[in-house]
Structure 1
Amino acid sequence: MINFSNLLFKDTTTDISLDTPATPNRKAKLMNFIKRISLPVLSGLLLWLAWPPHILAPLLFIALAPLFIFADRVKVEYNAGGKIFRNSFLAFFIWNTLCLYWIYNAGQELGVLGALGIVAVPILLGSLLMSLVFFLFHRIRTQFNETTGLVALICGWLFYEYLHQEWQLAFPWMTLGNGFAEIHQWVQWYEFTGVFGGSLWILIVNILAYKFYKTYTLPGNKKELRNAAIGLFTIITIPIGLSYYMYYNYTEAKNPANVVVVQPNVDPFTEKFSNMPPEQQLNRLIRLSDSLGQPNTEFFIWPETAIINPVYEVQLPNDANVRIIQNFLSKYKNANVITGAETIKIYNNKATSTARLSQQSGQYYDVFNSAMQIENSPEVQVYHKTKLVPGVESYPYGEYLGFLGNLVIDLGGTTGGFGKENKNPVLYSQSGIGVAPAVCYESVFGAFMANHVRQGAQLICIITNDGWWKNTSGYKQHASYAKLRAIETRRCIARSANTGISSFINQRGDILKQTDWWVQTVIKADLNLNSKLTFYARHGDYIPLVASVIAVTFIILAFVNKFLNKRFKSI
């Protein structure tokens, strides 16, 4: 019987120092420096190679092991905590930079310095939070033991990922569990755990890989080495085997809805929305929709900010764009258009924290990045995007970080920050079909989308404009993550990207059909609706919630223990 607890947490470390005797020889110093950073650099490169759009996700199982080895080798050196923090920061900075460089393209209208500022915030902040987890691991291990330290690392990492999903600086793009998006057949069990289950799996396997390496380097441990190898193999293969079983045995109930997705391909750099005649954009969308529309079409999906002119919500039934779209729908009796738009809501007072005062009218107003559903009736449903991109669409902690207001980018919407009040998470068609809308960045938030599904959505619709990132890995990552939302909720997905990848995804995460990059086109498919709730859709992110409580407990214990040690030493 294999004791997995021993495999994970048995201390097989040896006190190996990376320090070499001081020498005036510059070459020796350089070689010592290279030797010291080689393991962190290796971790950073492995994480990058494993990340979408690459198809080397299995590297995630060993990518953190070099950092564990490094932390072990310097643990008894002077200022070991500082060395572990600095070198883990180097590893995560490499990973984040190589995966998120494309953010720079979105900020080019701010100039070089502004664009660098926009890309630096998520890279530096993410790297900092990840490094603090490894620092916590060292502190807990030093004050208690390695078993406690490894538990603290697992819980601390999940706590960081959960925090980075929920606070105002949220950027969950680099959550470890997202790394399996290109091999979604391995993680069908996300319908029970969400992506945090993948993060937990990766952390455990990396610890086992590290333990296997340490056992391999010690002589005379053939039995322990065999057990370590069996344990590592088992922890990897059982979830994969279970996932393939779920994948091949999952059958969608036949309940089709005909959906048409439009990709108008408006270049945000040369055909700025504000400079393109509104009727030209609208005519393009209608022409493309009409080319594949059929009598039983339920939904025409248009991308984020497809309607150029701001729409005043108080005048929705009489808005010129709405009337044109309703006229188009007259030949499709059951059809609905779901489109991105910039909508404006007016108040008599400062009704929300994001409301701004109009100097002309003296009234307050909010501007929303919205999804509108238009049908063959006067009713128009509006959904307001609430997961806003920090520093791009919102001022995170504006009362403390007001300077970020100077970095806000106009990505086809408004400068000055969007409102985020939303009371309508599900759009319902005339025939009663519930659709969960996700405007761009929102599709990265698993629990957020699961909440929409829990409130009655049978289908997920993603509208986005990925053209700001140009032909980089950014739009590919964004499109790939959508497959994980399909698995978590077992909902088909219709994805409309202005420029990027528009696609249809089934309930197993398979891409049924997709467009090429940077082409004007339209696609259609029959997508099966689903009303059943997965375990994850019902219960959300229970894994990181439990881990966060444990991590905070560890942090408090570390401070208390350090304080008591100082007091006893002073006596």
Structure 2
Amino acid sequence: KSLYLIQIADITGVYGVSFLVAALNGLLFDLLVNRESKWRTTASVLYAVLLAVVLFYGSGRLAEGEDGREFKVSVIQGNISQDKKWDARFQKEVIDTYKRLTLKAMPEGPDMIVWPETALPFIFGYNEDLTEETLSFQKGLETYLLFGSILLNSTEPGGSSFTNSAVLLSPQGDVASVYDKMHLVPYGEYVPFRNLIPFVRRLTAGIGDFIPGEEYLVMKTPFAKIGNLICYEIIFPGLVRSFVEKGANVLVTITNDAWFGRTSAPYQHFAIAVFRAIENRVPVIRSANTGISGFIDTRGRISKTSDIFVEAVLTEKVAVGTSRSIYTEYGDIFAYLCIAGAMLIIIRNIAYSRPFLETSSSKNF
């Protein structure tokens, strides 16, 4: 709704938008409460000029067309409830749901199909029968399939551990790329300080204690270089930027927001992805188990979305990002400059207050 205002995020990151909001609140305080401030008029003029520049920049950015190569993507929203997701009695039902919805998308001729986070109700690669069933199904599609799955990692000292991963299958049914989630959810996917407090291990005994990935892996296909974010990784600007910095020209985020229920959280989670698209000038493809799934272009425009807690199949043409933004190149330099400026103001105020304090003290004596 405020696309003109937030286009500056490709320069300043999301902190530039926060700066505008904070500056407006400071100005309103001076105008309505701190009426003795001698800077009221100057501040009002400066903010008006700043706002005009931001809106002018935003309108120019939005007027630009998408010039990247297009490819077609279908996202699948299975709408699997939490009580069924890991219940072995519903395993076949869950798998059949994703197969059915995927086949529904095939007449559109997608170059890639995306399933949500932990879409498979089994450990891919460990359960041989169900893994082979998934690969056989994939070979019949003759297109790329990207899905979320728990994987078994047997390289950890002291036993096996699990990763929350995204797996990309080629049209031939081969595993083309695997990305392991790097930023795990505390107390959901791992327990902090579990070695110091042994009894808390029981908190994750049912699902295993996940280990984080270590690589910003970019998945390469003939039509795009994909940076894959799992669940709430999309909310971290620096993490997302690292994928684009390493060559990703499309972002795919897979998630399971069923935990949130019918609250504002699924909508907020989706809205955050808009900023990541603008900051790095790359499109975002989102597949969520219970919604919201959809597509966001490099200007933050939302082309298609699903409702929450319904099955959905969405297909859209996506144009890859073609240019590297200032934010991608330099990161949160604007935020660092703001911190430096604030420190200088504090030091200046302390320095100017000393003569006043010394004068007041001498008068008291």
* TM band (smaller chain): 0.7 to 0.9
| 1:558, distance to aligned residue in structure 2 (A) | 11
Amino acid at match of 1:310: I
Verify the 8 A CA contact 1:391 1:405 in the aligned structure 2: no
User: Could you say which residue in structure 2 is the equivalent of 1:342?
Assistant: 150
Aligned residue among 169, 174, 185 for 2:4: 185
| 1:549, distance to aligned residue in structure 2 (A) | 6.2
Structure 1 Cα separation of the partners of residues 102 and 12 of structure 2: 37
SS of 2:191's equivalent?
A: coil
Render the CA deviation track for 1:361-385: whole Å, top value 9, x for unaligned. Answer: xxx2221111111121433421111
Amino acid at match of 2:8: W
Render the CA deviation track for 1:204-248: whole Å, top value 9, x for unaligned. Answer: 3322222223454x4xx9x9654443334333343233212322x
User: Could you say which residue in structure 2 is the equivalent of 1:152?
Assistant: none
**Bigger helix share:** 1
SS of 1:527's equivalent?
A: strand
| 1:555, distance to aligned residue in structure 2 (A) | 9.4
User: Could you say which residue in structure 1 is the equivalent of 2:215?
Assistant: 423
Structure 1 Cα separation of the partners of residues 131 and 140 of structure 2: 16
Structure 2 Cα separation of the partners of residues 328 and 409 of structure 1: 32
Q: Does 1:393 align with 2:186?
A: no
* CA RMSD, Structure 1 to Structure 2 (Å): 3.2
Amino acid at match of 1:252: E
Aligned residue among 521, 526, 529 for 2:312: 521
User: Could you say which residue in structure 1 is the equivalent of 2:100?
Assistant: 287
| 1:551, distance to aligned residue in structure 2 (A) | 6.8
Q: Which moved more, 1:319-328 or 1:527-536?
A: 319-328
Q: Does 1:480 align with 2:262?
A: no
Structure 2 Cα separation of the partners of residues 403 and 239 of structure 1: 53
Aligned residue among 192, 198, 201 for 2:20: 201
Distance 1:190 1:409, change over 3 A: farther
Q: Superposed, which structure 2 residues align to 1:165-184 within 5 Å? A: 182-184=1-3
Amino acid at match of 2:101: L
Verify the 8 A CA contact 2:138 2:173 in the aligned structure 1: no
Aligned residue among 446, 452, 472 for 2:237: 446
Structure 2 Cα separation of the partners of residues 470 and 517 of structure 1: 9
User: Could you say which residue in structure 2 is the equivalent of 1:250?
Assistant: 64
Render the CA deviation track for 1:342-394: whole Å, top value 9, x for unaligned. Answer: 111102x62xxxxxx3xxxxxx2221111111121433421111111222223
Distance 1:474 1:404, change over 3 A: farther
Verify the 8 A CA contact 1:338 1:373 in the aligned structure 2: yes
Q: Which moved more, 1:469-478 or 1:182-191?
A: 182-191
Structure 1 Cα separation of the partners of residues 34 and 188 of structure 2: 48
User: Could you say which residue in structure 2 is the equivalent of 1:238?
Assistant: 53
Query: TM-score w.r.t. structure 1 length?
Result: 0.56
| 1:432, distance to aligned residue in structure 2 (A) | 5.5
User: Could you say which residue in structure 2 is the equivalent of 1:299?
Assistant: 112
Amino acid at match of 2:118: T
Q: Does 1:323 align with 2:168?
A: no
Specify every segment of 5 or more residues in structure 1 that has no aligned partner in the other structure, as ranges. Answer: 1-181, 351-356, 358-363, 560-564
User: Could you say which residue in structure 1 is the equivalent of 2:353?
Assistant: none
Amino acid at match of 1:337: L
Distance 1:211 1:554, change over 3 A: closer
| 1:518, distance to aligned residue in structure 2 (A) | 0.9
Query: TM-score w.r.t. structure 2 length?
Result: 0.85
User: Could you say which residue in structure 2 is the equivalent of 1:500?
Assistant: 291
Asked which structure has the greater RCO (Cα within 8 Å, sep 6+), the reply is: 2
Specify every segment of 5 or more residues in structure 2 that has no aligned partner in the other structure, as ranges. Answer: 351-356
Structure 1 Cα separation of the partners of residues 333 and 205 of structure 2: 35
Distance 1:518 1:343, change over 3 A: same
SS of 2:154's equivalent?
A: strand
Structure 2 Cα separation of the partners of residues 237 and 406 of structure 1: 56
| 1:332, distance to aligned residue in structure 2 (A) | 3.8
| 1:399, distance to aligned residue in structure 2 (A) | 5.8
Distance 1:230 1:554, change over 3 A: closer
| 1:292, distance to aligned residue in structure 2 (A) | 1.5
User: Could you say which residue in structure 2 is the equivalent of 1:129?
Assistant: none
Amino acid at match of 1:326: L
Aligned residue among 310, 321, 328 for 1:530: 321
Structure 2 Cα separation of the partners of residues 548 and 528 of structure 1: 36
Structure 2 Cα separation of the partners of residues 517 and 215 of structure 1: 45
Q: Which moved more, 1:460-469 or 1:546-555?
A: 546-555
Verify the 8 A CA contact 1:395 1:401 in the aligned structure 2: no
Structure 1 Cα separation of the partners of residues 332 and 205 of structure 2: 31
Render the CA deviation track for 1:396-450: whole Å, top value 9, x for unaligned. Answer: 355667776566697xxx24x3111233521122x26211111010011112111
Structure whose CA Rg is larger: 1
Amino acid at match of 2:278: I
Q: Which moved more, 1:371-380 or 1:468-477?
A: 371-380
Structure 2 Cα separation of the partners of residues 285 and 491 of structure 1: 27
Verify the 8 A CA contact 2:61 2:299 in the aligned structure 1: no
Q: Does 1:436 align with 2:227?
A: yes
Verify the 8 A CA contact 2:226 2:252 in the aligned structure 1: yes
% of aligned pairs identical? 25
Amino acid at match of 1:474: A
Aligned residue among 350, 374, 385 for 2:169: 374
Aligned residue among 352, 365, 377 for 2:160: 365
Amino acid at match of 2:138: L
User: Could you say which residue in structure 2 is the equivalent of 1:260?
Assistant: 74
Distance 1:547 1:321, change over 3 A: farther
Verify the 8 A CA contact 2:68 2:322 in the aligned structure 1: no
Verify the 8 A CA contact 2:112 2:146 in the aligned structure 1: yes
Structure 2 Cα separation of the partners of residues 404 and 339 of structure 1: 31
Q: Superposed, which structure 2 residues align to 1:401-412 within 5 Å? A: none
Structure 1 Cα separation of the partners of residues 347 and 93 of structure 2: 60
Structure 1 Cα separation of the partners of residues 2 and 55 of structure 2: 11
**Bigger strand share:** 2
Q: Does 1:456 align with 2:233?
A: no
Structure 1 Cα separation of the partners of residues 101 and 246 of structure 2: 32
Verify the 8 A CA contact 2:110 2:315 in the aligned structure 1: no
